């Protein structure tokens, strides 16, 4: 059992790149397909608190429920926004990664490198062709 968890959407390139970087560090994380198995209210609140971000910062804006529910309006409370995320998990931005070194929303995907306990085992190039780790396993800035 890994000490790394990723809240993952396999349809998302950023999420796929993040998962691949975790695996490139020699770890096989616990993968939670959060659209199928959303976190509980308490889990979601803990993830937000552990990331040190606002509830609104976790909202995914470019999905249909965001527009349909009028979530751009600043009139919603944090508990209401959490209700919407639990009702429509697509509203939860991803990927969220939890490691012993912290919890982060990994956008861009290389943010995961800041919280991985292990070094990258080799070069890593994102799906779009951007190289983010060199052959020695060092992050390319």
Q: Give 5-24 pLDDT, tens digit per residue.
A: 999 999 999 999 999 999 99
Q: What pairing do the DSSP bridges indicate for beta strands 102-105 and 96-99?
A: antiparallel
Q: How confident is the model at residue 57 (pLDDT cuts 50, 70, 90)?
A: very high
Peptide bond before 95: cis, by omega within 30 degrees of 0? Answer: yes
Tokens of 121: 């085992």
Mean pLDDT of 56-71: 96
Q: What's the confidence (pLDDT) of residue 1?
A: 54
Residue among 4, 6, 12, 59 flagged as catalytic: 12
Q: How far is CA 92 from CA 3, 60, 80, 114, 136, in A?
A: 22, 6, 14, 21, 34
Catalytic status, residue 12: yes
CATH no. of 5-133: 3.40.30.10
Outline where DSSP puts E strands in 11-130. 30-33, 96-99, 102-105, 124-125
Mean pLDDT of 42-55: 98
Q: What pairing do the DSSP bridges indicate for beta strands 102-105 and 131-133?
A: unpaired
Q: How confident is the model at residue 40 (pLDDT cuts 50, 70, 90)?
A: very high
Q: What's the confidence (pLDDT) of residue 75?
A: 95
Q: What's the confidence (pLDDT) of residue 2?
A: 73
Q: How far is CA 68 from CA 2, 72, 82, 139, 141, in A?
A: 38, 10, 16, 40, 39
Angle at 135 between CA 130 and CA 141, to 5 degrees: 50
Please check the confidence at residue 89 and state whether its pLDDT lies above 80: yes
Q: What is the pLDDT of residues 94-137, one digit of tens each?
A: 999 999 999 999 999 999 999 999 999 999 999 999 999 999 99
Domain ranges of the chain: 5-133
């Amino acid at each position: 059992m890994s000490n790394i968890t990723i809240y993952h959407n396999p349809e998302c390139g950023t999420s796929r790149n993040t998962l691949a970087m975790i695996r490139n560090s020699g770890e096989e994380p616990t993968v939670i397909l959060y659209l199928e198995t959303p976190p509980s209210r308490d889990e979601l609140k803990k993830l937000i608190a552990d990331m040190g971000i606002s509830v609104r910062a976790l909202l995914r804006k470019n999905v249909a429920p965001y527009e349909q529910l009028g979530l751009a309006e600043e009139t919603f409370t944090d508990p209401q926004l959490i209700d919407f995320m639990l009702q429509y998990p697509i509203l939860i931005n991803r990927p969220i990664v939890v490691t012993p070194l912290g919890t982060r929303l990994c956008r861009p995907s290389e943010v995961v490198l800041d919280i991985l306990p292990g070094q990258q085992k080799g070069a890593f190039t994102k799906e779009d062709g951007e190289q983010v780790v060199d052959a020695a396993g060092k992050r390319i800035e």
